[in-house]
Structure 1
C-alpha cells in the first residue's frame, strides 16, 4: 500500500504567476541589490553553470579562484566555451591569499572577469570577499560570486560592494528548498552577456531568461515550473523575514563561536583560525592515530551532523554542521556530544562537561 502520509504532496496547485516577481524582489532584498534577479528552476549548480556558459567565449580572459571543487568546475565551464582561464588554486582546503589575487590581476591586465566562492561548506573556510571585489573593481574587472552557501550565514551587500553577478541557493543558510536558485545580474554584466556565441534555446541561457521572463513583464516563468519548490521557497522566506536577516546571520556567528570554543575545550585542532573560517561548518583535523571512517561512524548520534570534508587537503578533516536551522544551541550541543563520543570510542577520552561549559558561556552572553 502507498504511504498515505505523502498524499498532501500530490495534485499541488500551480504557483500563482504574479508571485514570482515578488519572490525575486524578496531575494533581491536579501542580497541588498537593485539588480535584476532571475529565478532558476533547478539547484544552484545549474545556475552556476548557466552563468559560466552564458559568459564564456573565445577572447574572454578570466581569473577563476579555486578553493573547492565548485571553483574548479566553474573554470572548466568557462574553458569549455573557449575562454582563456587562469585558475588561481589556493593551498588545499585553505582560503585564497589576497596577495596572490593582486599579483594575478597585476600580471594580467587583460583579465575581464573574476570568479570566486564566498564561503565554502566543503572545508569551512571563508574567502576575503570584500578585499577581492575591491581589487577587481579598481581594475574594472567584472565579478562573479558563488554565495550559495554564504547567503544568510554571512553578510552580503551586492550593490555596496559592486558585485556584478551573484548566484544564491536557499538550501543552506536560508534553510529552504534545494530545487530552485537565483542569480542577480548587473547592467554591466548584461552588456558582457550579449555576444554572438551566447547559448540560446537552452536551460543554460541567461539571455533566454532575460527575454522570456524579465522583458516579458516578470509574469509566468518559462517552461513548467515545479510549484512545490516555489511554495517551499516562499515559506522559507516567510520564516526568514520573520526572524530578520541580521538575526539569522548573528545566529550563525553564535553557533560557529560556540562550536569552536567547545572544540578547543576538547583539545581539538581546528582547521583554520576564526578569521578564515565560515559560519556554516567547522572543520577539525583528526589526530593521525584516529581512524577517519570509524570516527565518523561513532559520531552518528541522534541530533548530530558530523561528516567528512570534501576536496583536496580534506583527507583528515571532519565537519560539524551548524548551517540553517542547525545554527542553534541544541544542534551545536548535539554535535559536540557526538564529537566527544567519537573521540572516546577511539580511545581519546576528553572532558565533555568542560566543552559544554564553554558552549553555554557563549549562549549566555
Structure 2
C-alpha cells in the first residue's frame, strides 16, 4: 500500500562501491593530477581540517599564509596538534605579497609545510600561487593548497605546479554538491602524513583513507551518503560535457565583464584583474554608506549581494558569478542592482554605461 508520507529521497539505493574509484579518477582529471585522489564524506572545511590533523604533530614546522578566516582556522588546527606554526597575515581583504613569503622562508629554512588558499571567496582575491609554490619547491617544503574557490574558475594544474596536497569542494565553480570534498595527495605528502603518530580511526584521518586506496578503492569507511555521490557523478557528467577549459573561460569572462561594468558604473573593483578571483568580485563601499543597506536595496530588486567575510575594517560588497551564475544575465543583474542601490543612497552612477560595458565584454 502506498504511503503518502514516503519521499523517494529517503529510499536512495547505496552508491555502488566499484564506482568510487572511477569518481576519484575523474576528479584527478579535473585537477590534472597523477597523485592519489581521496574522497572525503563531508564539506571541504572538514577535508581541510583532516589535512591539518593528519600532518600536525610536535616537531613539525609550518608556514601558514592567512588571507581569510580559512587560513586562520588551518593554523589553529595545526597548533592544536602540536606543530610550530608561523602565520603570515595580510592586510584585511588583500592577497599576500610574494616578498613577504620569501622573507619568511629565508628567516626559517627548517619549515616542513607551507599552507595557502588559492582564491578567496571571502574577499574576491587571488593569491600568487605559482610564485609561492616555486619558492616552496626551492626550499623542499610540502605544500597544502586550498583550491575550493579556484578549481573550475582558474587554471589549476596540480602536477605542473608541483602541489603536494590540494583540497577541493565541488560546490562552487564546478556546480556540484556541497556535502563531499576531495584531496590530491603526493607521495612525499603521504610520507609526512604516515610518519609516527598519524591519527587513526577518525573521520579526520587521512591514514584511514590511505588504507582505502591500498585496499582497492572499494567501499569507503563509515556510511557514505548516496545522494551526495550520485549528485557528484551527475556534476562530473556535466563538467565533462561542457569541458573544463570552457568552464574556466566562462568564469574568467564573468569576472572581467563584472570589473568592466563596475568601472563604467564609476564604482571600481577592489583589486586589479591579476589579483582578482574569477568567482566573486568585491567592490569597496563608498564612505558614509553601510554595506547592509546596499545589500538590502539590491535584494528588493531580486539580486543577492553579500558582504565581505573577515575583511573588517575594510567594507566590501561581493558580486557572485560562480558556477551557473557565471553568465551574462547574472553579471548584468549584479552590476545593475549594485548601481541602483548606490543611486537610491544618493550616489551618482552610470548604469547605462555599465550595462553597455558588460554587453561589449560578452560580444567580443
Using the size of structure 2 for normalisation, the TM-score is: 0.97
The residue correspondences of 1:39-54 to structure 2 (distance < 5 A) are: 39-54=39-54
Partner of 1:272: 271
The residue correspondences of 1:97-246 to structure 2 (distance < 5 A) are: 97-211=97-211, 213-246=212-245
Task: Give the Å deviation of 1:349.
Answer: 3.7
Q: Deviations over 1:146-186 (max 9, x none)?
A: 00110000111111111000000001110110000001100
- Contact 1:303–1:334 (Cα < 8 Å) also in 2: no
Report the 3-state secondary structure (helix = DSSP H, G, I; strand = E; otherwise coil) of the residue aligned with 1:218.
coil
RMSD between superposed Cα atoms in Å: 1.4
Measure the CA separation in 2 of the matches of 1:34 and 1:337.
Answer: 44
Task: Give the Å deviation of 1:274.
Answer: 1.1
Partner of 2:65: 65
Change (3 A) 1:6 1:277: farther
The residue correspondences of 1:316-331 to structure 2 (distance < 5 A) are: 316-331=315-330
Moved over 4 A (4+): none
Partner of 1:84: 84
Using the size of structure 1 for normalisation, the TM-score is: 0.96
Measure the CA separation in 1 of the matches of 2:210 and 2:31.
Answer: 19
Relative to structure 2, which stretch is displaced further, 45-54 or 350-359?
A: 350-359
Measure the CA separation in 2 of the matches of 1:249 and 1:144.
Answer: 22
- Contact 1:303–1:335 (Cα < 8 Å) also in 2: no
Measure the CA separation in 1 of the matches of 2:165 and 2:291.
Answer: 38
Task: Give the Å deviation of 1:315.
Answer: 4.2
Q: Deviations over 1:196-240 (max 9, x none)?
A: 2221111111001111x1111001111110000011111111111
Task: Give the Å deviation of 1:351.
Answer: 2.2
Q: Deviations over 1:8-28 (max 9, x none)?
A: 322011111111111100000
Measure the CA separation in 1 of the matches of 2:172 and 2:59.
Answer: 35
Partner of 1:258: 257
Partner of 1:299: 298
Partner of 1:358: 357
Measure the CA separation in 2 of the matches of 1:301 and 1:363.
Answer: 26
Task: Give the Å deviation of 1:302.
Answer: 5.5
> Any unmatched runs of 5+ in structure 2?
none
Report the 3-state secondary structure (helix = DSSP H, G, I; strand = E; otherwise coil) of the residue aligned with 1:63.
strand
Q: Deviations over 1:256-275 (max 9, x none)?
A: 01111001111003211111
Task: Give the Å deviation of 1:243.
Answer: 0.6
Task: Give the Å deviation of 1:303.
Answer: 5.5
- Contact 1:303–1:331 (Cα < 8 Å) also in 2: no
Partner of 1:55: 55
Measure the CA separation in 1 of the matches of 2:356 and 2:237.
Answer: 34
Change (3 A) 1:10 1:335: same
Measure the CA separation in 1 of the matches of 2:205 and 2:138.
Answer: 29
Measure the CA separation in 2 of the matches of 1:14 and 1:75.
Answer: 37
Change (3 A) 1:151 1:314: farther
Measure the CA separation in 2 of the matches of 1:295 and 1:61.
Answer: 44
